[in-house]
Structure 1
Amino acid sequence: MTTLMDKSRSAVVSALNEFGSLFSLGLDVVVNMFRRPFQAREFIQQFWFIASVSILPAAFVAIPFGAVITLQLGSLTSQIGAESFNGAASVLAVIQQASPIVTTLIIAGAGGSAICADLGSRTIREEIDAMKVLGVSPVQRLVVPRVLASMLASVLLNGIVSVVGVAGGYFFNVIMQDGTPGAFLASFSALAQLPDLWVSELKALIFGFLAGLVAAYRGLNPKGGPKGVGDVVNQSVVITFLLLFFVNFVISVIYLQIVPAKGA
């Protein structure tokens, strides 16, 4: 029993230490964002890489996401005789919830894993230690451009995913559920409001920051050589997924409490 308690206590302490280290790196990233010189070339290269490997998967995934949400909501609204609200419910669900989550999951899986692998390989080759010896900050030189690139890519791709998801939902509602195009658009314009789009973009910005930060943190702390790099890549993706869903819940609750529904 004592051994089990000791192991549990050790696991809790280890988890708290990891969280503290991640939080500390996040503060360093925020501080170094405003320091000069800014690594513009590194930022552009990382942004282009993340966007190029994420845009097509995100767009393709958005279509079934929007379709499933619309079909499910359409089935429920038809059962209670509220088909006229199907457009608003579907579009708001896609924009507020599905779009930022889908966008950042793709970015974390495609771009974040590459960031983690790159920094992990640099760490085990002792390039990071060499930079510190030369007085070059790895956070400012390598981490900040990657985190900013992840944030910008997340915000821009979120807009594309929102449009594709809404279009997919509209198409399947009209074609497969015999929905009325005018009713779909009218209910959306009647209940949707501009803050719904802003909160979606805010989520994408925060999620992009978390995806880049977790990938960089795990990449800077590999253990066990090349195998350790592979392990931290897997860990970064899993940790990012867990953080995204938790933070999404918190932001959604705060938004729904602060911003009143249209017409309320």
Structure 2
Amino acid sequence: MTSPTPVSRALTPVGNLFALGASVLRMTFRRPFQLGELIEQTWFVTKVSALPTALFTIPFGATIALLLAELTRQFGAQSQTGAGSVLAIVQQAAPIVTALLISGAGGSAVCADLGARTIREEIAAMEVLGISPIQRLVVPRVLAMTVTAVVLNGLATVVGVGGGYFFNVVVQGGTPGAYIASFSAIAQVSDIVVSEIKAALFGFTAGVVAAYRGLNPPPGAKGVGDAVNQAVVISFVLVFLINLVLTALYLQIVPPKGV
């Protein structure tokens, strides 16, 4: 028997990851649904991610507002500062910040929990008893991260826009009316919709990656720690790739307002 090639060894985990994601989607609609576990996990992920998301979004939004204010001043387009900064926060910064915090805080906890259960052979025991660990443990955790990502994306948007407004108007002496009017003239409902879609996909991706690494950790306690680190890094990479694809599609499909 020939040994697997490096390409096949690299593609096998990718295929298994996609298979786990498909299983989660399929088993979401299978009964019995673990509602209690979903509520508990949603509260846990929200508790560990909400405050860091809000605190991280403030400097993020402020940096965007300050930079755009300086650039628009150089080109004599100060009246468009609000549109540029708010759209950047809504479409890009808020979902990205939410995904990073969800992956780092919630995803690491999910991976560590499932990894500990795996090395203690709890997952194997559930399979022997005819209990699906994916339906019982993975589905509630992935859905919890998806729901939390959507909710926290709204929080990050509000905090980021508020921070950008404060630093542009109060710190740099911008005009409040021009800041708001420029945003109202360019923004669309679809900007909010695509932001929430991004957040949901990012949360789902982070949850699936965390669950996959938790169910397949290297042996021993150190292996669980390595799996947590790998889950966070892989989630970050996939989030940025998905964001690139969604942004490109959105700009091609949805015309700018007024066009």
TM range (shorter): over 0.9
Structure 1: gaps (5+ residues): 1-8
Q: CA deviation at 1:255?
A: 0.4
What does residue 25 of structure 1 align with? Answer: 20
| Residue in 1 that maps onto 2:138 | 143
* Cα deviations by residue, 1:120-166 (Å, 9 ceiling, x for unpaired): 00000000000000000000000000000000000000000000000
User: Matches of 1:14 and 1:67 in 2, distance apart?
Assistant: 44
CA-CA distance at 1:178 after TM superposition: 1.2
Check if 1:102 corresponds to 2:97: yes
* 1:184 corresponds to which of 179, 185, 197: 179
Where 1:36 maps in the other structure, the secondary structure is: coil
Deviation at 1:184, TM superposition (A): 0.1
Render the CA deviation track for 1:177-224: whole Å, top value 9, x for unaligned: 210000000000000010000000000000000010000000000112
TM-score normalised over the length of structure 1: 0.96
Q: How does 1:1-264 map to 2 (within 5 A)?
A: 10-264=5-259
Q: Equivalents in 2 of 1:228, 1:12: separation in Å?
A: 24
Unaligned segments of structure 2, at least 5 residues: none
In 1: Cα distance, 2:5 partner to 2:221 partner? 26
Displacement after TM superposition at 1:258 (Å): 0.3
- Report the Cα offset of residue 14 of structure 1: 1.9
Task: Give the alignment's TM-score, normalised by structure 2.
Answer: 0.98
RMSD of equivalent CA atoms:
0.8
- 1:54 Cα deviation from its structure 2 partner: 0.4
> 1: distance between equivalents of 2:217 and 2:235?
17
Task: Name the amino acid aligned to 1:112.
Answer: G
In the alignment of these two chains, the number of paired residues is 256
